[in-house]
Structure 1
Amino acid sequence: MIRVAIIGTGNISAAHINAYLAFPERCKIVALVDIYPEKAQAKKEQFGLDADVYDSHKLLLGSEDIDLVSICTPPFSHAEIAVDFLNDSRHVIVEKPMAASLEECDRMNAAAAKRGTVFSVIAQNRFLNPIMNLKHVLDSGKIGRVLHAQVDSFWWRGHCYYDLWWRGLWSKEGGGCTLNHAVHHIDMLGWMMGLPNKVSALLSNAAHDNAEIEDISIAALQYEKGAVAQVTSSVIHHGEEQQLIFQGENARISAPWKVHASTSLENGFPKKNEELEQELNDLYSTLPQLTHQAHEGQIENVLTAIETGGAPFITGESGRMTIELITAIYKAGFQQKTVELPITKSDPYYTVQGIMENAPHFYEKTNSVINLGSSQEITLGGSYSSK
Structure 2
Amino acid sequence: MTDCKGGEFQMRTYKVAIVGTGGIAAVHADNLARTGGRAELVAACDVDESRLQAFGDQHNISGRYLGLTELLAEAKPDIVHLCTPPMLHIDQAIECLEAGAHVLSEKPPALSLADFDRLETAQAKGGAQFSCVFQHRFGDASAAARSLIGAGDFGRPLVARCDTLWYRPDSYWDVPWRGTWAAEGGGPTMGHGIHQFDLLLHLLGPWEEVTALASRQARATSTEDLSVAIVRFANGAVATVTNSLLSPRETSDIRVDCEFATVELSHLYGYGSNDWTITAAPGHEDPVRNAWESQPLELGSGHSAQFLAMYDALDAGQPLPAGADSARQTLEFAAAIYASAFTGKTVRRGEIVPGHTFYSGMDGDGLGTRVLNSTATAATAVA
Quickly name the TM-score band, shorter chain normalised.
0.7 to 0.9
Aligned-partner SS, 1:96: coil
Aligned to 2:367: 358
Q: Distance in 2 between matches of 1:319 and 1:101?
A: 12
Give the superposition deviation at 1:113: 3.6
The alignment status of 1:340 with 2:357, answered yes or no, reads no
The alignment status of 1:138 with 2:149, answered yes or no, reads yes
Letter in 2 for 1:334: F
**157-166 vs 127-136, which moves further:** 127-136
Deviation by residue 1:271-322 (Cα, 9 ceiling, x = unmatched): xx1x413321222122113546410011112222333322222211111110
RMSD in angstroms over aligned alpha carbons? Answer: 2.1
The alignment status of 1:253 with 2:241, answered yes or no, reads no
**284-293 vs 166-175, which moves further:** 284-293
Q: Distance in 2 between matches of 1:21 and 1:223?
A: 38
Aligned-partner SS, 1:217: strand
The alignment status of 1:148 with 2:156, answered yes or no, reads no
**60-69 vs 296-305, which moves further:** 60-69
Aligned-partner SS, 2:80: strand
CA contact (8 A) 1:118 1:305 kept: no
Letter in 1 for 2:229: A
Q: Distance in 2 between matches of 1:325 and 1:250?
A: 28
Letter in 2 for 1:25: G
When residues 90 and 288 of structure 1 are mapped into structure 2, their CA distance, relative to the original with a 3 A threshold, is same
CA contact (8 A) 1:70 1:92 kept: yes
Deviation by residue 1:325-370 (Cα, 9 ceiling, x = unmatched): 000001011112222221222212111387343321647xxxxxxx
Q: Distance in 1 between matches of 2:170 and 2:176?
A: 14
Unaligned runs of 5+ in 2: 1-12, 267-275, 374-383
When residues 5 and 224 of structure 1 are mapped into structure 2, their CA distance, relative to the original with a 3 A threshold, is closer
Q: Pick one of 177, 195, 202 that aligns with 2:213.
A: 202
Q: Distance in 2 between matches of 1:189 and 1:346?
A: 29
Letter in 1 for 2:78: D
CA contact (8 A) 2:357 2:365 kept: no
The alignment status of 1:27 with 2:39, answered yes or no, reads yes
What are the equivalent positions in structure 2 for 1:292-303 lying under 5 Å apart? 293-303=301-311
Aligned to 1:128: 139
Aligned to 2:321: 313
Q: Distance in 1 between matches of 2:367 and 2:74?
A: 40
Aligned to 1:369: none
Unaligned runs of 5+ in 1: 263-272, 364-387
When residues 260 and 297 of structure 1 are mapped into structure 2, their CA distance, relative to the original with a 3 A threshold, is closer
The alignment status of 1:66 with 2:66, answered yes or no, reads no
When residues 261 and 291 of structure 1 are mapped into structure 2, their CA distance, relative to the original with a 3 A threshold, is closer
Instruction: Report the number of matched residues.
Output: 350
Aligned to 1:376: none
The alignment status of 1:8 with 2:16, answered yes or no, reads no
When residues 76 and 357 of structure 1 are mapped into structure 2, their CA distance, relative to the original with a 3 A threshold, is same
CA contact (8 A) 1:159 1:208 kept: yes
Deviation by residue 1:69-114 (Cα, 9 ceiling, x = unmatched): 0001111111100000100111111111111111222112332244
Give the superposition deviation at 1:224: 4.4
Q: Pick one of 147, 167, 170 that aligns with 2:181.
A: 170
CA contact (8 A) 1:153 1:181 kept: yes
Aligned to 1:42: 54
What TM-score do you get using the length of structure 1 for normalisation? Answer: 0.84
Give the superposition deviation at 1:139: 4.4
State percent identity of aligned pairs: 32
Q: Pick one of 278, 290, 306 that aligns with 1:282.
A: 290
What are the equivalent positions in structure 2 for 1:54-93 lying under 5 Å apart? 54-63=65-74, 65-93=76-104
Q: Distance in 2 between matches of 1:195 and 1:307?
A: 28
Give the superposition deviation at 1:152: 1.0
The alignment status of 1:244 with 2:254, answered yes or no, reads yes
Q: Distance in 1 between matches of 2:24 and 2:52?
A: 13
CA contact (8 A) 2:43 2:75 kept: no
Aligned-partner SS, 1:110: helix
Aligned to 2:9: none
Aligned to 2:113: 102
Deviation by residue 1:102-153 (Cα, 9 ceiling, x = unmatched): 1222112332244332321111011234333221221434232222111111
Q: Distance in 1 between matches of 2:234 and 2:41?
A: 46
Aligned-partner SS, 2:167: coil
Q: Distance in 2 between matches of 1:164 and 1:157?
A: 13
Aligned-partner SS, 1:246: strand
Aligned to 1:265: none
Aligned-partner SS, 1:314: coil
Give the superposition deviation at 1:59: 2.0
The alignment status of 1:214 with 2:224, answered yes or no, reads yes
Q: Distance in 1 between matches of 2:323 and 2:247?
A: 31
Q: Distance in 1 between matches of 2:365 and 2:18?
A: 29
Q: Distance in 2 between matches of 1:62 and 1:356?
A: 37
Give the superposition deviation at 1:205: 1.8
Higher RCO by CA contacts (8 Å cutoff, separation 6 or greater): 1
When residues 160 and 324 of structure 1 are mapped into structure 2, their CA distance, relative to the original with a 3 A threshold, is same
**120-129 vs 320-329, which moves further:** 120-129
